[in-house]
A and B are shown apart, each in its own frame.
Chain A
């Protein structure tokens, strides 16, 4: 709608003429004896201007300011304004409340932290000013010794609880309490890197499983011996072995061509043999079962065909047998390797057993850290 001021004489005639022309006018008010203020639809504006021009009235569109438009809008849609104010009030009220509690870093203490906060009143819907963060922090540290530090803060309407767990420190050691490093398996030392303690082996020394590698003692400047927890790495070349055997003779099955068959009639309760065949020394069996009658009492006919076979042993190549045995032995040895290790060397030994089997033994060599704490193998 457009607001306009119309000036002239006999403005009531203007209203009548506009009414006859079908122009809809709103908020008509008298400003001065020769001026009225009206609101016209933009669609009727040109028609109204033409009408004014024809009868000599002066029409001046009024540009409303933003405040006037806003005031007019609020007067018309006052419920919208009221709804907006109510929403703002609700938002303002909600910012003063705790709408959620988020606990981070508590790990296994998460349930206990949440339970304590719930009992202390730190939950959804509580007013922020009714919660004392310092008191909550002190309460959490007092009730949960597993927490070393707790940080509480409000992030918007969310209560953020950041927990830090305590860390287990190094234990104080006493002399003779077994804080040495020993070898977990046999090997030849290739590298010694000791952080604390006294190394007992050097590069190139052969060691056996259980042998002490680093003693948990250190000598001070005065010559005294102080107990320490031995720490470090001792790398050594170690081995794994796998063995397998493979036969020299290969059995081959050959059919001779002789066959025989036996036939039997079967019922759900009994069986009647019509023909019985003589079994062979070595044979293949093929069983064929056919349903003969399928009425009140079903009948099946079972035919068994025997085919005589001959098993021949053939000597195969020794190289093939040895290769097969080596492959199997190597596969077994590799299964014992830890993941990710690099095989440094491999050797294979062959032997014959009773002239029938070839036995292969594969040894794989690799390097790894063999130092473990005594008591832990």
Chain B
């Protein structure tokens, strides 16, 4: 983890893309109804109020109401509904 942290700081200093080189997840929120997660590694929890996805940086947790996984592919996950918060846990 420390090595990974050092590499991340080096990439940040060099201005290089972290997600492409470190296989980090990229989270994109479109408006207030859709969240696109690229680089996720699997669904950990699925419910209408919380969706947790495993990523290279930790656990991504999306909370909200009427959450639905609109699309789930090996490279992409799209969460729709009324997401309220998104957080990453180790």
Q: Measuring CB to CB, which residues of chain A are less than 8 angstroms from any residue of chain B?
A: 11-12, 15-16, 18-20, 22, 24-30, 36
Contacts and interface: CB of A to CB of B under 8 A. Distances in A.
Contacts, number: 47
Given A20-B42, A25-B72, 13 more contacts: A12-B44, A15-B69, A16-B42, A20-B74, A25-B69, A25-B71, A25-B73, A27-B68, A27-B69, A27-B70, A28-B70, A29-B69, A30-B48
Contacts of A27: 68-70
A19 B72 contact: yes
A29 B45 contact: no
Interface of B: 42-48, 68-74
Interface of A is mostly: mixed
A203 B73 CA distance: 112
Contact of B43 (A12, A22, A24, A26): A12
Contact of A28 (B42, B44, B46, B74): B46
Interface of B is mostly: strand
B72 A12 contact: no
9 contacts: A12-B42, A12-B44, A15-B72, A19-B74, A20-B74, A22-B74, A24-B73, A30-B46, A36-B46
Given A15-B42, A19-B42, A28 B47 contact: no
A15 B46 contact: yes
Nearest to A26: B71
Contact of B71 (A18, A22, A24): A24
B46 A16 contact: no
Contacts of B68: 27-29
